[in-house]
Chain A
């Protein structure tokens, strides 16, 4: 083991160019792989790595070995494991305290045409799947022709990859290089790739590449009907199409250990085993600055739990090596108290979400809807909330009183938006409500609506921090004569209420506030304050509710149309900024507290954990920490 660790020899050339010339350098590998090489089960490391492997700068050159223990909640929770190892052509990267930027993933280079219509990618030369088979543009063609455009497999293409209903086109240039193009300019395509990728219909999306040599046996363009049937039978599914897709038996990496991948780890023992384990991919394409093939850690194991308290006990007993998912701010004190006993530290990132009251602009209650549509009413509700108290009492003072707007570190951050209508001023709120004619009150001091009923709003919630927060806000609202009626409901019901347009207001972690361009849907009302309007917009009027002609949300939609088709980055960014400004200044969503810490537990012997980054779905959660360079001191 000692031979492999702490190799501090570093060349300045490496740091400058970010690549290592394969011939000039001896690469090192994990002992468990070296053993296999000696036994003749694997080719030597030089032959497994690409010619110019990607260099992931480790915070500190580490040691090989160890098992990373984590906990998970069952198969529905696979995004925890997935985000540890997602690979993309383009990925987000962030230095502590810095802004997010895009960096190439498993490609050598990429370029974008001047009109933002054509995107060219060059795969790493010598890149290999986890079974040793080379990755070439053949795999790209397979993905495009036989999966993405295969209507037997995929009924239609997702909007994001087919703006205006016209799917992207593919052109293969040589074995390594391919070009995708769109009819109209699409400046945010790279942001979308970094977040959502393209691997439809599978939800685990390495973008553009599917292992043809393995998957063609399950594809109707290559396999006969009988073969497909046999394959379906082998995996215990009904139709060959079920082998594919988001939970496809064959294409889901966390279910099928045979599926070739390019990720740092691959599944070894899938669910429903008691402990789900992942093991290193011997062909992983990246090395650290000293030429050690990554990842450092041999295995990742996930233990099942179903109750938060059970997980918290695992943490304080030192059974969790490093985990961010399910580490809850409301248990912060408990974690801190047991740091020494459990031999770990609590670390903090920033969450790109703001806990918000989301009124339903499409609510079926006409009177309430017209109140929601009155800016003074929205402002009154917003400034009647004492956010500092909520922060202190519910979020252990770890969060920040703010509006639902882009967070610090986001390229869209704007300090003015952050504080818009976020200062506590109940007197002013009362004045505003008086000003819009809500002056009548009933015996309990609550205001009456224009139709004579008491002005009360039912707020639905399903998160643990809801009841405590609502107690405070209901008190705040009482002082302005508005009755808030909190309802704690089941998650399914909570979503159904929104799908069926049945709610008046919901308590919601309003997220995707890091890189808005990568996913502006929530800000445009989708699954949020104006779901029906968004459906109207996204279905081009086929369903949903049409917003009134002068409704400002039309401006939000219009700005996205401009941004999505803008010819230049500047033009697109300008439109996007206006979209965000309109959303925040209209105050449709009432942000309460945000930028709270995404806590993580890091055992003292787990090294190279990056601190102070942004936690968001867009940046792929903990994936932003470059998990392949983390290591465990033996």
Chain B
């Protein structure tokens, strides 16, 4: 198994190189470049940049160089110095921008993953074992509603409700007075009082689909002979259900653990933007809009690394949970 993991990780290197190059190219595909976007932004703020200033900027950022040169400048620094380059827009090292946001993103994504599972697994199991019961229908309706309402809309509704009726302080991950302050107990408590909105939003979106998957898998498993055998042996329903079919039905959950991170990075950008969360999503979106290629490229690269690691992790977990799976 160790050999397998090493092989997988080695394969990841050319994959990452390829992904980083393609993403770098794609970022540059739209018309214009960072300076075009930057100047446009200044113009919308009412400022006028002369063409001369524009060309100076372009020169300063090395945007006149061929794409390959720009790519090499960026990737070679990452490989040799671990330096992700500078964000053109923020005029700051990419690493300064990313890490804290990445930490918060990780916290949020793992919490919401746990939360999603806490909803999806019991509900899925219940729906399968009590198929076509009243609660099965109720959960199904809610599940489809959760899937159907766009996340950002739900976020807006929750924020409005919390603000207008509960008089809560909404938006962001903590109150303004904690912004930029070092982490302490009060700040964590304050964060917990804010974090429920994104958690609910992210979990309802994700849970709905998983409930259906869990339900379908369970239904498949419950009809299998080994279940009947188990019942025949006189085990209680609880033991039968939770010890065997659930374990098998969890299979797709485990194999998608690796995608949870990238999904939070990218899939829920709009929610994060609406909620004004200090996570990576809004930063990535802005970087793409501004064609801030070193920042956006680094994001996508880190994202790919996470995907690769996550996939390896889920493979390992899968092997542990399901002895039928073998590495070859």
Using a CB–CB distance below 8 Å, which chain A residues touch chain B?
Answer: 69, 74-77, 79-80, 154-156, 158-159, 196, 201, 203, 236-239, 241-242, 245-247, 249, 252, 255, 269, 271-275, 277, 303-307, 309-310, 313-314, 316-317, 319, 490-496, 499-500, 511, 519, 521, 527, 616-617, 621
Contacts and interface: CB of A to CB of B under 8 A. Distances in A.
Nearest to A310: B276
Contacts of A236: 86, 93
Interface in B84-138: 86-87, 89-93, 96-97
Nearest to B98: A272
Interface stretch (B42-50, B140-148, B260-268): B42-50
Given A69-B176, A74-B90, A492-B37, A306 B282 contact: yes
A303 B286 contact: no
A358 B163 CA distance: 41
B290 interface: yes
Contact of A274 (B53, B86, B169, B278): B278
A581 B282 CA distance: 46
Interface in B277-299: 278, 282, 285-286, 289-291
A409 B44 CA distance: 23
The 8 closest A-B pairs by CB, nearest first: A617-B46, A310-B276, A275-B180, A76-B41, A495-B40, A496-B31, A79-B45, A275-B179
Interface in B46-65: 46-50, 52-53, 55-57, 60, 62
24 contacts: A74-B286, A75-B89, A75-B90, A76-B45, A79-B45, A79-B46, A158-B50, A201-B56, A203-B53, A236-B86, A236-B93, A246-B49, A246-B53, A274-B278, A277-B180, A306-B286, A309-B159, A310-B275, A314-B171, A491-B41, A495-B36, A496-B31, A496-B32, A511-B46
Contacts of A242: 60
A307 B42 contact: no
Contact of B31 (A76, A275, A319, A493): A493
A306 B56 contact: no
A79 B89 contact: no
Interface string B150-166: 00000010010001000
Given A158-B50, A271-B90, A307-B276, A495 B39 contact: yes
A274 B90 CA distance: 12
A313 B286 contact: no
A245 B56 contact: yes
B170 interface: yes
Given A274-B278, A496-B31, A159 B46 contact: no
Interface in B11-55: 30-32, 36-50, 52-53, 55
A273 B41 CA distance: 21
B200 interface: no
B222 interface: no
Given A74-B89, A316-B163, A317-B163, A274 B43 contact: no
Contacts of B44: 491
B171 A310 contact: yes
A245 B57 contact: yes
Contacts of B52: 155-156, 158
B45 A77 contact: yes
A319 B176 contact: yes
Contact of A313 (B86, B97, B170, B289): B170
Nearest to B168: A317
Contact of A306 (B62, B170, B276): B276
A274 B99 CA distance: 13
Contacts of A79: 42, 45-47
A316 B171 CA distance: 12
Nearest to A511: B46
B274 interface: yes
A492 B31 contact: yes
A249 B170 CA distance: 35
Contact of A317 (B31, B45, B89, B170): B170
A306 B286 CA distance: 8
Contact of B91 (A249, A273, A309, A617): A249
Contacts of A80: 45
Contacts of A241: 60
A249 B285 CA distance: 25
Given A201-B56, A241-B60, A246-B57, A492 B163 contact: no
Given A76-B89, A494-B40, A496-B32, 6 more contacts: A75-B91, A79-B46, A313-B159, A490-B289, A492-B32, A617-B47
Q: How large is the interface on B (under 10, 10 to 19, 20 to 34, 35 or more residues)?
A: 35 or more
B96 A272 contact: yes
Contacts of A155: 52, 55-56
A253 to B, nearest CB: 13
Given A159-B50, A314-B171, A495-B32, A307 B273 contact: yes
A309 B92 contact: no
Interface of B: 30-32, 36-50, 52-53, 55-57, 60, 62, 86-87, 89-93, 96-97, 156, 159, 163, 169-172, 176, 179-180, 273-276, 278, 282, 285-286, 289-291
Contact of B97 (A272, A303, A307): A272
Contact of B179 (A274, A309, A527): A274
B91 A306 contact: no
A271 B56 CA distance: 23
Contacts of A621: 46
Given A75-B89, A255-B91, A274-B278, A306 B179 contact: no
Which of B39, B56, B159 has the most A CB atoms < 10 Å from its CB? B56
A269 B180 contact: yes
B85 to A, nearest CB: 10
A511 B45 CA distance: 11
Contacts of B290: 76
A307 to B, nearest CB: 5
A76 to B, nearest CB: 4
B60 A245 contact: yes
Nearest to B94: A272
A254 B276 CA distance: 23
A158 B273 CA distance: 39
A80 B286 CA distance: 18
A574 B259 CA distance: 68
A313 B163 contact: yes
A633 B176 CA distance: 20
A523 to B, nearest CB: 13
Nearest to A269: B180
A45 B291 CA distance: 47
Contacts of B30: 492-493
Contacts of A317: 163, 169-171
A67 to B, nearest CB: 10
Contacts of B180: 269, 273-275, 277
Which of B50, B93, B290 has the most A CB atoms < 10 Å from its CB? B50
A155 B63 CA distance: 17
B79 to A, nearest CB: 18
Nearest to A494: B40
B273 to A, nearest CB: 5
Contacts of B55: 155
A74 B274 CA distance: 16
A202 B96 CA distance: 24
Nearest to A277: B180
A237 B62 CA distance: 12
A307 B31 CA distance: 24
A493 B40 CA distance: 10
A69 B175 CA distance: 13
Contacts of B46: 79, 511, 616-617, 621
Which of A69, A316, A317, A616 has the most B CB atoms < 10 Å from its CB? A317
Contacts of B170: 313, 317
Contacts of B276: 305-307, 310, 313
Nearest to A620: B46
Contacts of B96: 272
Contacts of A76: 38, 41-42, 45, 89, 290
Contacts of A154: 56
Contact of A247 (B36, B45, B91): B91
